[in-house]
Amino acid sequence: MTGAGLWRCVSASVIGSSHQRVGTVCQDAHDCCVESDSTGSEILLATVADGAGTAKRAEVGALTACTAIRKMASSFLQGNLIRNISRTTVEQWIDNFQQQLSSIALGEGLELRDFACTLLMSIIGPDTAVFFQIGDGAIVIADSEEFSYCHVFWPEMGEYANMTFFATEADFNERLLFTTVERNVVELAMFSDGLQRLALDYSNHVPHGGFFKGIFPPLRRATHNTICQLNGDLYQFLGSDRVNTRTDDDKTLILASRIVER
């Protein structure tokens, strides 16, 4: 969680009720922080990963993806601007992540597919943002002009139900969604597929406006002293009966709101 500077951020990954019943761990992971680029501008970096339910060490793959990719993005921004991040740059980050994971797999006598996970990332500066994604889950944003919520990419699904694509696959570059946005993004929501049915309107192919209009106001009002409590409230919400009656999967949600200077 982050409460200093222009960004207010809360985040949580909560085990799904189906995983609790069978005694497995939460296979979701996330990372969210605020850093500075080479000009000193405040940059929000947020990642979400969802481990494949059939992968033996999915939770390790998801956690490694979030931490490794964020660290590479942070290192890149020490000498570059967000607009310098290209699709090729991101492909190199993911290739490096796969090499790190391959070393872990070798040490455990496993294969890369045993760590399969999706990957979503947002890198947001004052007037430019980069987003990329492999697999399901979604990124929803609002800008300072219209302040209406829109998705960056629609969740990538496979040929069959409950099938998606993973950042651990050899042909990940064929499934990589990437875009650079020249907008003043002021609010961000990122979530794993466990929340898709609550947060996305599949009939109209848009985010559920009511969901986001209801969940962001407490974050906008938060102060440095109350952000910790708000983060706890988010964790409780994701584990509540209200949510668990709609989804039994692991759930990750990152919310970030930027103070708009008038």
- pLDDT per residue over 40-72, tens digit each? 999 999 999 999 988 999 999 999 999 999 999
pLDDT band, very low/low/confident/very high, at 2 (cuts 50, 70, 90)? low
- pLDDT per residue over 129-147, tens digit each? 999 999 999 999 998 766 7
Residues of the chain above pLDDT 90, percent: 80
pTM of the model: 0.94
- pLDDT per residue over 216-233, tens digit each? 999 999 988 899 999 999
DSSP annotation of 54 reads T
DSSP annotation of 113 reads G
pLDDT band, very low/low/confident/very high, at 259 (cuts 50, 70, 90)? confident
Compute the half-sphere exposure of residue 5: CA atoms within 13 Å on the CB side of its CA: 18
Contact 174, 246 (CB under 8 A): no
Q: What amino acid occupies position 218?
A: P
Contact 2, 32 (CB under 8 A): yes
* pLDDT number for residue 198: 93
d(CA 258, CA 144): 10
Going by DSSP bridges, is the β-strand pair 42-50/7-14 parallel, antiparallel, or unpaired? unpaired
First to last CA, the chain: 25
Which region holds residue 50: left if phi is over 0, alpha if psi is between -120 and 50, else beta?
beta
Structure tokens at 260: 């708009």
Q: Which residue has the tokens 């019943």?
A: 21
Please count the other Cβ atoms lying within 10 Å of the Cβ belonging to residue 222.
Answer: 20
- pLDDT per residue over 122-131, tens digit each? 999 999 999 9
* pLDDT number for residue 5: 63
Compute the half-sphere exposure of residue 238: CA atoms within 13 Å on the CB side of its CA: 27
* pLDDT number for residue 22: 82
* pLDDT number for residue 4: 45
Contact 219, 254 (CB under 8 A): no
Give the residue-averaged pLDDT of 98-110: 97
Neighbouring-strand partners of residue 29: 49
* pLDDT number for residue 162: 65
d(CA 154, CA 157): 9
| H-helix or E-strand spanning residue 73 | helix 58-77
CATH 3.60.40.10 fits 7-258, yes or no: yes
* pLDDT number for residue 23: 78
Structure tokens at 38: 């080479």
* pLDDT number for residue 261: 59
